[in-house]
Amino acid sequence: MDKMKLSRIGIYTGLVILVIICFIPFYMMIINATRPNSEILRGFTLIPGDSLMDNYDVLISYMDVWRGFRNSLFVAISVTVLNAYFSALTAFALVVYEFKFKNAIFVTFIVMMMVPGQLGLIGLYDLSETLGILDTYWPLIIPAVAAPFTVFFFRQFLITTMHISILEAGRIDGASEVHMFHRIILPILMPAIATMGIFTFIGSWNNYIVPLVIIRSPDLYTLPVMMGALSGSPVASNLGAMYLGIAISVVPIMVAFLFLSKYIISSITAGSVKG
Amino acid sequence: MKNNDRKAYLFIAPFVIVFLVFNLYPIFLTFYYSLTNYSGMGGIDNADFIGIDNYVRLVTDRYFYQAFFNTIRIWGFNFLVQMFIALGLALLFSDIRLKLKGVSLFRALFYLPNIITIASVALLFSILLDWNHGGLNQMLLSLGVINQPINWLNDPLYAQGAVALIGAWMWFGNSFIVLMAGISGISRDYYEAALIDGANWFQSFKYITLPQLKPILLYVLITSIIGGLQLFDLPMLLTDGQGSPQGALNTMVLYLYNQAFRYNNFGYGATLAYGLFFITVIFSAVTFRTMYRKES
Amino acid sequence: MKKSLFLVMMVSLLGFLAACGDDEPDLVVTSFTDELQEPIEYFEELHDVNVDLQIIPTENYVNTLRPALESGSGAPDVFTGEIVYLKDWVNQDYWEDLSQDPYNVDEWSDDYMEYVWDLGRDEEGSMRALSWQTTPGGIYYRRSIAEEVLGTDDPDEIGEMFDTVEGLLEVGEMMKEHDYRLFPDEGSIAPYTNGANPQPWVNENDELIMTDERMTYFDYAKTLRDEQYTALAPAWSPAWFASFTGPISYNVGWDELDEDEEQTDETEVFAVSLPTWGLHSVLEVEAQETAGDWAVTNGPTPYFEGGTWIGMYKDSENHELAFEFIQMLVNDEEFLTEWVSETGDVLSYYPVMDEIGEDYSNDFLGGQNHYDFFMERAEEIDASHVTAYDQTIEELFGTQVGAYVEGDATQEEALAEFYSRVTNAYPDLVIPDELEEEVADELEEFEESGDLEEEPVE
């Protein structure tokens, strides 16, 4: 029994060390965000400095990180909502109805899931230029309507959890198909929507290359593009302001995660087992 | 049911239209461009149709091979480290005898780096790893681990290693969670039977855990390959965005981006996109086959 | 219930976010710095209009603005161009032809420096973009350090020492003896390599031009590094900026070489090569602590760097107001006088420069009249060698010189890699004949040894 206890202590120590290693970069970031440039250049310390507001002034005079935050939030929420709603609609049609090309569409899904997003990047850029929607959010948001992977996931979910008899009962009561989709199917799909929603949100939030190519006005920059622009901006002459800019882009997400972590992690578990 | 056909078309219409316009059409357009010398400026009408010239260039382009090997090398190292830690953690936490507590806390802590914007992470490390004034060297120097600053981002091996380790740092938590889910799905009966047969820890790992985990491992491997082959954000923002040091961070997507959007070789950039696609398909297929061949 | 609440939240959030639009400005100006902020405020007051300044960081400027100019959607009314892509842009039909009626800007040409004027013309000779600046470069140095090490802080005397690269290196040695560093980084010597024999990077036959003078960059940069004349602070890095205000940490990690010397981990930088605008947009901003302790003098050769040209988008709907703005920025004596006295920028417009330059002293430069100095240097500028390729090629060249300086490649390897990268970026360019074969050999060697043997990183 003693041996067990000892090895448990050893393991916990190891785990704590691993956690510390994981968090050192964030800790350095936060500490340095409060220190003036001159001191950061001189060396490293564990104690916060007193230049937080100075750094903030420098940062904000060149780049409105909060705006990037709002922009990213807007895009990610739009993408998540569209993705969930239209994927559910499509999955609903695939499961409930019989129609021509149904199998062809289904096979296309499977193939498309293997296609890397970069394959169409150049074409998307050119299409956007032709349509006059470069430097708008449309090319970032609209494609979310057609997300094969999400449809696939919802379809599997519906097949295992929904009984056609529910719909038949609805029809007898005279409910329209659209009404039934909103009232019956969406609630049934909610757990699956939550799971895929988290992935979709994180994916859109982190997307760098597409907005980098599409967005040009600094007012429209999403957070990742703003981070990229930060290193080439005058802010780069002040390391404290740089660290602060990164911290602002990171800390709110960390805080949000702490509240939602249970939910997110069970979604990952569900996504991997079923997907 | 049959009389509902028309409504079904209505329901799938948004998907199909958007899919055709924003998904399929760009992919075909990209393919068409890959057969031209379009610069990306002044409209496609100004470009010449050059057949497979770009593809000939692709198979003889040493920067493409460099990008390919860099990407694979970085991904491979990242995957090894990530899986080593993730599998180790998953086994520890699922061990019946140890009965470790705090799984959900550790899962959350280890997963955290995964949700941070990669661009922010890249920028953070680009200044942390700076030679003369970066936090890492400063810390190692003051701890006495090293007595000279190491120029992490100027050495090809260190730079690739840094990208791989940052990737592992970001992803081991995710793999850990997924593997935990897989292991907890394995029936306890197997292990108990093995114990009765006198199997030791390693034997039960080799003959029960690994085979039972196969589908999950395949899932982790495939998603990791597909993601790994698309490595872009880290090499783009960690150094000069052109593959420094000495081309060591020139990855396939970075090369694609630079050719198309930095050097204005849209046609060749499109060709690179198809090269990347081809490689992705091959890798996925090979992984799939080798994982399942052993069974039959 | 929960679901509908969630939906309401989402919708209202989206609505809130989407509502963050802005009111229509009268004029949209796009540039890569905030330099135009004050002129715009001046202009807004003057004409009682609302001007929107969009700043796109230099790194993304071309890539992000060009599609808008091509398609016309989201294009600004007025936009600036830096010298590095000016050549390309004046021939792209982005900027309105300013030679034509009602603008007739050619009428002003006598008042301007000729090279500035010529760079803004397209192939047909029509004026597309104008500039208010001239941007010759020099070496800015710290007076107190000059006094201590060289015994004088006089720009003329120091200019004599700097007259050749050898002289520059000699000063570097003296600086080192006193624990100072000549330059922050090796890039500071670059202007004086090509400057000794200015050639375009690419000639009219699409051939890449390599000169012996360009090749000297390898040797000079290596000397600077090996002799420890630089402070290892790469241009535009935080350390580079910090080097203008005081000692910066310096750790070459070569203590084996200097075992007898006491190891110092800090050093102070003496001088830096910067053009005119370096004074008001770099030094005066970043080096307030050392204001008054600076002076500027000549380097071994003349050179110029950067410069902002401005023109109006050809399909702008506000041509009249757009031209008003350009005219104010380039040709309005009252405004320019104020601009100059505020910023210290050096103008290509003689009437204002002549008047101001007469008796002027700059406080930041310890009372020096830098207009005199720079106007003289400006006359030596030869802009005929500017090409559309310069930025990319120079970047690629600098990277390879860097690899050589770091000891990661021999000079031959670095040069071969440079050529190979140039043809990779511009497949249509021809690299110098006599070297083509050498490069081919080099490549073969690389392919044999390079990719195959390496193991995954450990």
The Cα of A121 is separated from the nearest Cα of chain B by a number of Å equal to 7
> Cβ distance C135 to C309 under 8 Å?
no
pLDDT band at A274 (very low <50, low <70, confident <90, very high): low
- Tell me whether B80 touches chain C (CB under 8 Å): yes
- Tell me whether A181 touches chain B (CB under 8 Å): yes
Q: Residue B18 domain-assigned?
A: no
Q: Hey, are the CB atoms on A265 and B230 less than 8 Å from each other?
A: no
Q: Given this model, what pLDDT does residue B294 score?
A: 55
Q: Given this model, what pLDDT does residue A273 score?
A: 60
pLDDT higher than 90, residue C368: yes
Q: What mean pLDDT is reported for chain A?
A: 88
Which of A38, A74, A81 has the CB atom closest to C17's CB atom? A74
Least confident of A92-96, A99-103, C400-404: A99-103
Q: Hey, are the CB atoms on A272 and B182 less than 8 Å from each other?
A: yes
Domain assignment of residue B105, given as a range = 61-293
Q: Residue B174 domain-assigned?
A: yes
**Tokens representing residue C3 in the block:** 């679901």
pLDDT higher than 80, residue A216: no
Q: Given this model, what pLDDT does residue C320 score?
A: 92
Q: Residue A164 domain-assigned?
A: yes
Provide the chain C residues 18-57 that lie in CB contact (below 8 A) with chain A.
18, 20, 34, 54-57
pLDDT higher than 90, residue B148: no
Q: Hey, are the CB atoms on A265 and B233 less than 8 Å from each other?
A: no
Q: What is the mean pLDDT of residues C313-321?
A: 92
- pLDDT digit string, tens, across residues C199-257: 999 998 999 999 999 999 999 999 999 999 999 888 888 889 989 998 887 765 444 33
Which of A8, A41, A119 has the CB atom closest to B273's CB atom? A119
Q: Hey, are the CB atoms on A41 and C242 less than 8 Å from each other?
A: yes
Q: Residue A245 domain-assigned?
A: no
- Tell me whether A37 touches chain C (CB under 8 Å): yes
Q: Residue A182 domain-assigned?
A: yes
The Cα of A135 is separated from the nearest Cα of chain C by a number of Å equal to 8
CA-nearest residue to C231 within chain B is B132
CATH of the domain at A196: 1.10.3720.10
Q: What is the mean pLDDT of residues C21-45?
A: 84
Q: Which domains does chain C have, with CATH numbers?
A: 23-134+306-357 (3.40.190.10), 137-301 (3.40.190.10)
Please count the structural domains in chain B.
1
Q: Residue B68 domain-assigned?
A: yes
Q: Given this model, what pLDDT does residue B296 score?
A: 46
Q: Hey, are the CB atoms on B5 and A224 less than 8 Å from each other?
A: no
Task: Considering only residues C109 and B288, tell me which one the structure prediction assigns the higher pLDDT.
Answer: C109
Which of B57, B66, B263 has the CB atom closest to C425's CB atom? B263
- pLDDT digit string, tens, across residues C297-314: 999 999 998 889 999 999
Q: What mean pLDDT is reported for chain B?
A: 89
Q: Given this model, what pLDDT does residue C450 score?
A: 47
Q: Given this model, what pLDDT does residue B70 score?
A: 97
The span from the CA of A234 to the CA of A255, in Å, is: 29
Q: Residue A201 domain-assigned?
A: yes
Q: What is the mean pLDDT of residues B58-69?
A: 96
Q: Residue A251 domain-assigned?
A: no
pLDDT higher than 50, residue B31: yes
Coil/strand/helix, residue B146: coil
pLDDT higher than 80, residue A47: yes
Which of C66, C255, C427 has the CB atom closest to B41's CB atom? C66
Q: What is the mean pLDDT of residues B67-94?
A: 95
Task: Considering only residues C56 and B172, tell me which one the structure prediction assigns the higher pLDDT.
Answer: B172
Please count the structural domains in chain A.
1
- Tell me whether B263 touches chain C (CB under 8 Å): yes
The Cα of B19 is separated from the nearest Cα of chain A by a number of Å equal to 5
pLDDT band at C445 (very low <50, low <70, confident <90, very high): low
Backbone angles phi, psi at C311, to 5 degrees: -155, 180
Q: CA distances (Å), C332 to each of A52, C25, C43, in order?
A: 42, 23, 11
Q: Hey, are the CB atoms on B15 and A90 less than 8 Å from each other?
A: yes
Q: What is the mean pLDDT of residues A192-213?
A: 91
Q: Given this model, what pLDDT does residue A111 score?
A: 79
Least confident of A158-162, B153-157, C15-19, C336-340: C15-19
Which of B62, B76, B80 has the CB atom closest to C443's CB atom? B62
The span from the CA of C398 to the CA of C422, in Å, is: 12
Contacts of A90 (CB under 8 A, 6+ apart): A151, A154, B11, B12, B14, B15
pLDDT band at A129 (very low <50, low <70, confident <90, very high): confident
Q: Residue B35 domain-assigned?
A: no
CA-nearest residue to A151 within chain B is B15
Q: Given this model, what pLDDT does residue C283 score?
A: 93
Q: Residue B10 domain-assigned?
A: no
Domain assignment of residue A164, given as a range = 64-232
> Cβ distance A72 to A205 under 8 Å?
yes
The span from the CA of B223 to the CA of B232, in Å, is: 16
pLDDT higher than 70, residue C15: no
CATH of the domain at B253: 1.10.3720.10
The span from the CA of C253 to the CA of C86, in Å, is: 42
pLDDT higher than 70, residue A24: yes
Q: Given this model, what pLDDT does residue C9 score?
A: 55
Q: Hey, are the CB atoms on A233 and C286 less than 8 Å from each other?
A: no
pLDDT band at C169 (very low <50, low <70, confident <90, very high): very high
**Tokens representing residue C87 in the block:** 């050549």
Q: What mean pLDDT is reported for chain C?
A: 85
- pLDDT digit string, tens, across residues B203-241: 888 898 888 888 888 888 988 998 899 999 999 999 988
- Tell me whether B154 touches chain C (CB under 8 Å): yes
Q: Hey, are the CB atoms on C68 and A216 less than 8 Å from each other?
A: yes
pLDDT higher than 80, residue A255: yes
pLDDT band at A97 (very low <50, low <70, confident <90, very high): confident
Q: What is the mean pLDDT of residues A66-85?
A: 95
- Partners of A142 on chain B (C-beta within 8 Å) are 18, 22
Chains that touch C (3 or more CB pairs under 8 A): A, B
A3, burial (CB in 10 Å: exposed 0-12, middle 13-18, buried 19+)? exposed
Q: Hey, are the CB atoms on B100 and A213 less than 8 Å from each other?
A: no
> Cβ distance B82 to B114 under 8 Å?
no
The span from the CA of C345 to the CA of C350, in Å, is: 13
pLDDT band at B50 (very low <50, low <70, confident <90, very high): very high
Q: Residue A51 domain-assigned?
A: no
- pLDDT digit string, tens, across residues C45-65: 999 999 988 888 777 788 778
- Tell me whether C42 touches chain B (CB under 8 Å): no
- Partners of C63 on chain A (C-beta within 8 Å) are 216
Q: Could you count the other beta carbons within 10 Å of the beta carbon of residue A52?
A: 17
Coil/strand/helix, residue A59: helix
The Cα of C450 is separated from the nearest Cα of chain B by a number of Å equal to 9
Q: Hey, are the CB atoms on C456 and B77 less than 8 Å from each other?
A: yes
The Cα of A213 is separated from the nearest Cα of chain C by a number of Å equal to 8
The Cα of B276 is separated from the nearest Cα of chain C by a number of Å equal to 18
Q: What are the E-state strand segments in A78-201?
A: none
Q: What is the mean pLDDT of residues B32-44?
A: 87
Provide the chain C residues 238-277 that lie in CB contact (below 8 A) with chain A.
238-242, 245-246, 248-249
- Tell me whether C9 touches chain A (CB under 8 Å): no
> Cβ distance A30 to A43 under 8 Å?
no
> Cβ distance C67 to B41 under 8 Å?
no
CA-nearest residue to A231 within chain B is B123
Q: Residue A150 domain-assigned?
A: yes
pLDDT higher than 90, residue C94: yes
- Partners of B135 on chain C (C-beta within 8 Å) are none
Q: Given this model, what pLDDT does residue C454 score?
A: 43
Q: Residue B23 domain-assigned?
A: no
Q: What is the mean pLDDT of residues A185-193?
A: 91
> Cβ distance B252 to B67 under 8 Å?
yes
- pLDDT digit string, tens, across residues C135-162: 999 999 999 999 999 999 999 999 999 9
Which of B66, B132, B263 has the CB atom closest to C249's CB atom? B132
Q: What is the mean pLDDT of residues A137-141?
A: 96
Q: What is the mean pLDDT of residues B185-203?
A: 86
Q: Given this model, what pLDDT does residue C458 score?
A: 36
Q: Given this model, what pLDDT does residue C256 score?
A: 39
